[in-house]
Structures are given as structure tokens and as C-alpha cells.
Amino acid sequence: MEHNILLVDDDPGLIRVMARMLAGSGQFRFATDGPAALRQAREWLPDLMVLDAEMPGMSGYQICDAMKSDPVLRDVPVIFVTSHTDHEFEVQALELGAADFLAKPVNEALLVARVKSQLRLKRLTDGLRQAASKDAVTKLHNRSSFDEQLEREWARALPTESAISLLVLEIDFMDLYAERYGHAQVDKTLRSVAKALQTVCDRPADLVARIDRNAFALLLPDTSLEKAGQIAQGAIEAVQGLAIVHDQSPLARHLTATVGMCAFDGRRAVGEPDAPVCDASDLRRCALAALGDARKGGAQAWLTDMVEGRPAVHARDLSPLKELKPVDALG
């Protein structure tokens, strides 16, 4: 596995020296000032940053502080490099969340060892985090992982003025389904629904998560309201297309689902200093509000466009029920 390493120093010569020392350790990108370092980090999401502590303008300490406050960057380990030998500087770096500390002039063997150690630790940490982020039944992302990814994608979308959409899909009358067919069959059905939704969200950046007992979230970066509406339609049809019998449902003889959706155009957050500041929780709240409206009819999708953190105009019902021949739910 090749790692991404971001080298940050106001001295291009030292950057070249460190890159030569670390040859074979991964892919490199470079930055010579704070804003460029943060921009590169957000675009590239490195596995490790080697950061000069003293730079003109934005110091390394300010860069590290900004990273640890950013949901996109807070898990990127930082190794500080500085000419200071005073222990106060090392303490300050560690209190900011730095992973390690190196003194100038940089010793090649020590730099290579520290970098390898931090990359190995990050790989192990990422593996543990990934295992803890999965839903036990469906193997999709779970609620806590979804919340974290939503914060990350929101933070990523705003600086680039990108659209972001969220769908919340709920299986209709799941309580009646569980009473009729039992919890083992419920788990089997949830796994089938999870696979169906993953076929609808097929881009690498899209995320499908199980966020409640009978509810799923589809997080769609760089996706407009119109495109998200098409995906909502596809999600409802994918669930109906499973043709799983649900003879207790008042809607149909087969399993159905309802979708609420919200889309936010990042450009609305720019150039409006008097407008309320929206955040990721507003996107989730508006999607749930749309789901509540859609739930009144069942097996349909309602769309909400978000303006200044509030639901705007509801679109029409997108997906009427289709007549399908249900398969045997117990088969």
C-alpha cells in the first residue's frame, strides 16, 4: 500500500532533501506556506504531514491547530520539524495534537524511522476505525460512521462551493413485517436492501449507511437536487424490484420504501453575510423533514431544497407504487 505524504516547509531546498531521504516511502506533495498546505491537505487527504514549525505568515502550530479543528483533517498525523531545542516548543506541538517531533538539522535515519512508525500506526488505527464503523447486520457504514462522514463531506463541500445531497430511506411497515416473518428474516431482508442500495449509489464518493433499525442514509457529494431526485427514484425502485413479499403492508403485497431528500447548493453559503450559517445537522434535519412528509403517503419520495438551513419547496411525489409479483419472503 502506497502512502501519501505532504511535506510542508518554507525552504524548498529542505523539502527536496527530505523527499530524497524518504524516497520509497510513498507519494509526495509539497507546500511552502500555511494556506497552500491546508488546501493541499483537503484536496489530497494525506496519510501523514511533515511540517515545519516556524514559517512566515501562518506558523506550523497554526496549521496543526486548524487541522485538528477540521473534521476532514483531524485524523492526519503531523510530525513537526523545528530548529528550536527548547522543550516548550515540543510540549506546545504535542498539546496541539502532533504525533511526533524532530529537530533540525534533520537526521535521515531518524526521519525515516519516525515516518515509518507513524504510517504503520495510522494503518492500524484506520483498520480499527473501519471495523468499528460497520453495521453488524448489513456491513454498511453504521450511524456513527455516517455522522462522521457527513461532517467531513460538508466541510469539504463548503470551501469549494459544491452541492451535496442526502437521502434518508425508510422501509415501510417494518414492524408489521417483523411480526409476520420473524427477526431472522428481517436481517436477511435488510441485507438484500443494503445490496440493492449500493447498486444505486455506485460512485466511489457515495456512501450508504444503516442509520436506524429500518432506515438507511445515502450521502451524495457533488450531487444536485435534480440528480439526487433521480437516485431517490432509483432507490425506491430498487427496493420494490427485490419483490419481497410483505402481505401485512397496507400499501402493497411486496416490500416498499419511502425516501426523504435534501440538497444544498454550497454557493448559497457564499456572499450572504447576513444569512444564517448552515451546517451538516441542517442537511440531516431537512432530509428527515422531507421523509416525514413522504411518509404520509408511503412508498414515495419527497425532495427538499435547503435555503439558509430551512426546507424550501417540496417537489411532487416521484415514485408511485408499481405492481410486482412478490417472491416468497420465507424462501
Q: pLDDT tens across 15-36, in order?
A: 999 999 999 999 999 999 999 9
Mean per-residue pLDDT over the chain, rounded:
85
Q: pLDDT tens across 227-285, in order?
A: 888 898 899 999 999 999 999 998 889 999 999 888 887 655 444 444 445 788 888 98
Q: pLDDT tens across 48-65, in order?
A: 999 999 899 999 999 999
Mean pLDDT of 216-234: 91
311: CB partners within 8 A, 6+ apart: 262, 286, 289, 290, 304, 305
Q: How is 3-48 classified by DSSP, letter by letter?
A: EEEEEE-S-HHHHHHHHHHTTTSEEEEEESSHHHHHHHHHHH--SE
At 13 the pLDDT is: 95
Share of residues in the chain with pLDDT > 90 (%): 56
Does 105 sit behind a cis peptide bond, omega within 30 degrees of 0 on the bond before it? yes
Q: Which domains does the chain have, with CATH numbers?
A: 3-132 (3.40.50.2300), 143-314 (3.30.70.270)
* pLDDT tier at 313, thresholds 50, 70, 90: very low
* pLDDT tier at 323, thresholds 50, 70, 90: very low
Q: Are 196 and 241 in contact (CB under 8 A)?
A: yes
